[in-house]
């Protein structure tokens, strides 16, 4: 079953590439059919086989021979791998399906934010819908030590809204953008899915990981001092870590203070 789930992840990853390319450019995700981003030639079905077509063509368009971004291959492989991980962690049930949708939306957010410095509202709405559906599922995130209840989800959403309003107030007072609007909306939406505990953990992890990576990039002169920072990808890393091992991390931390 895990190989089947991974295969579905690869196939769906191909569609994610469509979203990543078209959403920020305000293009329809339905029409036209898949085509080369360079020469616009319509792709045949055998040019659209996930992973396989890219490797057989050497990462180049069959028609114009221009190099196709390795991002297409990366998205398919990452999505397939994380879907398989989701099956391993949650089993084959409704929670796994919602986790897979959440993972895929997070991937779209990551690559759009990296390239365009925006997080589409449609993706945040997608996360919000996943959170609403989870409220009514019998399968819960958690274990006997810590289980995320629907009350935790509602509180998480409230926390996200409160965080959004707080940042808006800070920006108004200091006349300086602290965090992008898309990032703040994402935190609110994720709060409804992961609950307040895992959402706060995800933000903390994102801040730590993001700071370390940015310091390294600037030391290596790969990012200018005043260059804008896309925080969405770091939020994704933090939230996905929370999704898979967040409860274990929280329990481990709490056990440190048990005497």
Q: Residue for token digits 């700071």?
A: 211
Using CA atoms, how far apart are residues 61 and 76, in angstroms rounded to an integer? 17
Give pLDDT, residue 75. 96
Threshold 0.95, pTM exceeds: no
**Residue found by looking up tokens 């920020």 in the block:** 24
Question: E strands of 128-180, at which residues?
Answer: none
- Whether the CB-CB separation of 113 and 233 falls below 8 Å is answered with yes
**How far is the C-alpha of 137 from the C-alpha of 150, rounded, in Å?**
9
Residue ranges of domains in the chain: 139-259
Q: Degrees (nearest 5) of the Cα angle 114, 117, 19?
A: 65
Determine the Cα–Cα distance for residues 198 and 194; give it in Å rounded to an integer: 6
Q: Are 239 and 188 in contact (CB under 8 A)?
A: no
pLDDT of residue 239: 97
- Extract the residue ranges of the chain whose pLDDT is less than 70: 178, 259
Is 2 strand, coil or helix? helix
Distances (CA, A) of 153 to 75, 78, 82, 198, 237: 29, 27, 23, 10, 20
What is the residue whose two structure tokens read 């019998």? 138
Closest CA to 131 of 188, 189, 201: 189
Q: What is the DSSP letter of 58?
A: T
Residue labelled with tokens 């200091």:
174
pLDDT for 47 equals 76
User: Which is nearest to 237 in space by CA: 82, 101, 20?
Assistant: 82
Question: Looking only at Cα atoms, what is the longest distance across the chain?
Answer: 68
Measured at the CA of 217, the angle between CA 177 and CA 232, to 5 degrees, comes to: 45
Closest by Cα among 17, 4, 29 to 76: 17
User: Considering the chain, what is the average pLDDT of its residues?
Assistant: 89
CA angle 230, 191, 209 (to 5 degrees): 40
Give the per-residue pLDDT at 78: 97
Are 43 and 35 within 8 A, CB to CB? yes
- Residue 1 is given by DSSP the state -
């Amino acid at each position: 079953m895990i190989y089947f789930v991974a295969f579905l992840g690869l196939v769906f990853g191909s569609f994610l590439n469509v979203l990543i390319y078209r959403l920020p450019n305000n293009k329809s995700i339905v029409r036209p059919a898949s085509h080369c981003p360079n020469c616009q030639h319509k792709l045949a079905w055998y040019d659209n086989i996930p992973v396989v077509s890219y490797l057989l063509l050497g990462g180049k368009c069959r028609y114009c021979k221009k190099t196709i971004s390795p991002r297409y291959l990366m998205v398919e492989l990452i999505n397939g791998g994380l879907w398989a991980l989701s099956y391993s962690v949650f089993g084959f049930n409704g929670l796994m399906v919602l986790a897979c949708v959440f993972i895929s939306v997070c991937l779209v957010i990551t690559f759009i934010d990296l390239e365009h410095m925006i997080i589409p509202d449609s993706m945040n709405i997608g996360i919000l819908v996943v959170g609403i559906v989870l409220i009514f599922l019998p399968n819960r995130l958690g274990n006997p030590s810590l289980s995320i209840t629907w009350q935790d989800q509602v509180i998480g959403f409230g926390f996200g809204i409160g965080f959004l309003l707080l940042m808006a107030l800070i920006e108004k007072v200091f006349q300086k953008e602290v965090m992008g609007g898309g990032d703040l909306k994402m935190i609110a939406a994720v709060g409804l899915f992961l609950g307040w505990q895992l959402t706060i953990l995800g933000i903390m992890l994102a801040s730590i990981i993001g700071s370390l990576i940015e310091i390294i990039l600037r030391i290596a002169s790969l990012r200018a001092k005043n260059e804008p920072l896309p925080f969405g990808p770091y939020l994704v890393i933090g939230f996905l870590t929370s999704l898979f091992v967040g409860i274990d991390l929280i329990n481990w931390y709490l056990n440190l203070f048990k005497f």
